[in-house]
Structure 1
Amino acid sequence: MKTNTKKLTLSAFFLALGLVLPMVTGQIPRIGNLLLPMHLPVFLCGLICGGPWGMAVGLVTPLLRSVMFGMPPLFPTAVSMSCELAVYGLVCGVIYARAPRRGTAAVYAALLPAMLAGRAVWGCVQAVLLGMSGSALTLQMFWASAFLNAIPGIVLQLVLIPAVMAALNRAGVVQYRQRA
């Protein structure tokens, strides 16, 4: 019971962070698309609270932010981001939980496949949603949106998330340990 309450509280914190952190970009969509600030709390939630909690936070954050602040636009952006972030939180959390040893290497081992899976899901959902509206997502558009334009955000994630996890470990909030 205590563990679920702690995970629920932390997940609510990560959800709030996901709503507020994009405001750092000053509501400038171009900068937000480069730095991907909404992704950071979802990855951290998956790593700290576990895959199901990360998935829930990832699923809700873009939709709630769209309804509350109008950004990102609900269709197709927030809907496809919601699926993408849900996959990030789930995959990252599940892989990290199954790691034989916890530490920076395990964080990277969880982040990289989660990033690839989430971007693949984003591309599939985006293609379906755009197809329903009479548009198309070309392979060139997918590569540009999912990878090339996102390079600054990907680098930020690969630097900041392991650093935050290491700092939380030093503070005793999370423990790097062998899996039981």
Structure 2
Amino acid sequence: MKEKNLKTYIWNLVLSAMFMAIGLVLPFFTGQIPQIGSMLLPMHLPVLLCGLICGWQYGGVVGFVLPLLRYVMFGMPPIFPTGLAMAFEMAAYGMIAGALYKHSKWQCVVALYRSLLIAMVGGRIVWGAVMVVLSGVSGQAFTWQLFISGAFLTAVPGIILQLVFIPAVMVALDRTGMVRFARKTQAVQASN
């Protein structure tokens, strides 16, 4: 492995671990109350940032592992069906946001919002599909009303938080040069 590739790999691994740690800690600010957590979606923020900064592969892995690890460590979110559905949903968030942002012609605020919005819709569709499968396995009904309520109506405060907070963080990181460095490391990975 070339030295430049090794540095890139280590950089992305360290950042991914940091985003994982942030995702483990953020739900404590909602007081471990599931109703508030489902409104503010605190674990989604670091997963989306990980996908945007480190790339879709890292965002997908962090997104999938985070709810499962949080369940093992703290017992929340309940593993079936919520935790499993969240694992697939958040993996989709990290992968979609990272892939779309990386392949944007210009990595600007417009591309960032486009990536975020498409990732949010795609992740919620994945969540709905997984919930249908898991509900079928458990013999419970998962209706269209439950999907709309769980994916959109309850999550409006979290969606607004994501659309305000993530671009602000990305702009701040871009000014410090961190995002430019991450883009260069992704370009090195893609060329090899």
Q: Same fold, TM exceeding 0.5?
A: yes
CA-CA distance at 1:147 after TM superposition:
0.3
Q: Which has the larger radius of gyration?
A: 2
Measured in 2, the distance between the counterparts of 1:64 and 1:130 equals 22
Give aligned-pair identity as a percent. 58
Partner of 1:149 in structure 2? 154
Measured in 2, the distance between the counterparts of 1:103 and 1:132 equals 43
2:109 is the alignment partner of 1:79: no
Measured in 1, the distance between the counterparts of 2:82 and 2:24 equals 15
Q: RMSD of aligned C-alpha atoms? A: 1.6
**1:174 partner SS:** helix
The residue type paired with residue 20 of structure 2 is L
CA-CA distance at 1:46 after TM superposition:
0.2
2:93 is the alignment partner of 1:97: no
For residues 78-121 of structure 1, the C-alpha deviation after alignment (integer angstroms, 9 at most, x for no partner) is 10000000000000000000011112111111101111110000
Aligned residues: 180
CA-CA distance at 1:170 after TM superposition:
1.1
**2:17 partner SS:** helix
Give matches, 1:88-127, under 5 Å.
88-127=93-132
The residue type paired with residue 82 of structure 1 is A
TM-score (norm 1): 0.97
Measured in 1, the distance between the counterparts of 2:42 and 2:111 equals 22
Structure 1: state its 5+ residue gaps: none
2:29 is the alignment partner of 1:16: no
- Higher helix fraction: Structure 1 or Structure 2? 2
Runs of 4+ in 1 over 6 A off after TM superposition: none
